[in-house]
Amino acid sequence: MQVRLVVMLRDLVTTAPTSTPEEPKARPARALTDPARSDGRGVLALSSAAYGGFLGFAIKRTSRSDDDRLLYPLMAVGTGLGLGASLIAADEWDVSHGEALLLNAAMTWPTASAMLISDGHHARPRANRYAFGIAAGVGGVGLATLAVSQAHVSQGGALIAHSGGALGTYVGAMSEYLVRGDLDPTPNLGLGYGAGAGVLLGGVLATQLDPDPTRVVLVDVGAGLGALGGAALGSPLLRRDATPTDKRGFIAATLVGSVGGATLALLATRHRAPKLGRVPLPVPSLLGFSPSPSGPAPIVGVTTGGAF
């Protein structure tokens, strides 16, 4: 009897379905903090607050009011409105450092361009230049907003826009000096048109290129140092009885020095910009041989290549 009971228990154990407890599913790892949103908030807030203060100042000057008690309240209100608008925009959209810097360039350089052009054309009353500056700045911000909504803008690209404005201002001024052959009057027209054209070209390039920000800064430094060196070499032409030709020679030496400095800086920092590739340089090469009555004649030419 006991043997039969043991056999039955054995058969029951061996035929019973075996089930293993399911292992608990591993929970996906959660980050301790959410990813940062609008990392360009600080740059955008500073730019908008400063431009809002300028708007208050410009409104006061354009109105031609003699009551100075209105100046600081208007500047305070403009600063507050600019700061509030930037914070709302940063909460609604993800604004990067590059996009904030591009918006800063779109505020600054077109405003300066319009005011300088107004001065160059001797617009009257002179306070109207602030109205022209406000209109140009608002238009620049509109174009920059359209650009960042359609293309990605990196920090290096935004710095190209600032560099375009600065270098355009410099080239425009030197070009007007070169045409006039005189260094005495302030070249407002050259400064204004150069700033506008430079920031426009730089803004277009900002949406197409992604350079290293350090390389952009170093190229600007190279252009400045080259201009200083060219001016030093051409300074003997600025004697007291200097003719317009002598002054034009000094200006040309300064321009050539700035171009040379920028080119050297661009070549010296090419290893810092793998996304832009290296500048293709022509190299003399032996392309082959051509048959001739006196024997094979070498074919010498120039080859070039590089990464883009």
pLDDT in tens, the chain (308 residues): 555 655 566 666 566 555 555 555 555 555 445 555 678 888 889 999 999 999 999 888 888 777 778 888 899 999 999 999 998 988 888 888 889 999 999 999 999 999 999 988 888 888 888 889 999 999 999 999 898 888 889 999 999 999 999 999 999 999 999 988 888 888 999 999 999 999 999 999 999 888 899 999 999 999 999 999 999 998 888 888 888 899 899 999 999 999 999 999 999 988 654 444 344 545 555 555 555 555 555 555 555 555 44
Instruction: Find out whether 144 and 106 touch, Cβ atoms under 8 Å.
Output: yes
Task: Quote the number of domains for the chain.
Answer: 1
Q: Is residue 61 part of a domain?
A: no
pLDDT score at 279: 43
Q: Is residue 254 part of a domain?
A: yes
DSSP 112-176: HHHHHHHHHTT-SSTTHHHHHHHHHHHHHHHHHHHHHHHS---HHHHHHHHHHHHHHHHHHHHHH
pLDDT of residue 218: 92
Tell me what pLDDT residue 222 has: 93
Quick check: is 264 in a domain?
A: yes
Query: Which pLDDT belongs to residue 102?
Result: 92
Phi-psi region of 306 (alpha: psi -120 to 50; beta: other; left: phi over 0): left
Q: Which two tokens stand for residue 306?
A: 């590089």
Range of the domain at 238: 212-272
Element (H, E) at 284: strand 283-290
Can you give the pLDDT at residue 10?
67
Pull the structure tokens for residue 289: 């041989």
Cα separation, 49 vs 71, in Å, equals: 16
In a domain, 149, yes or no: no
Query: Residue for token digits 């009897």?
Result: 1
Q: What is the pLDDT of residue 307?
A: 46
The dihedral built from the CA positions of residue 133, 134, 135 and 140, taken in this order, carries a sign that is positive
DSSP 8-state code for residue 33: S
| Structure confidence at residue 296 (pLDDT) | 55
pLDDT at 193: 95
Q: Please, which residues have CB within 8 angstroms of residue 45's CB and are 6 or more apart in sequence?
A: 83, 86, 87, 90
The contacts of residue 42 (CB under 8 Å, 6+ apart) are 100
Considering the chain, what is the average pLDDT of its residues?
Answer: 81
The two structure tokens encoding residue 55: 């708007």
Is residue 298 in some structural domain?
A: no
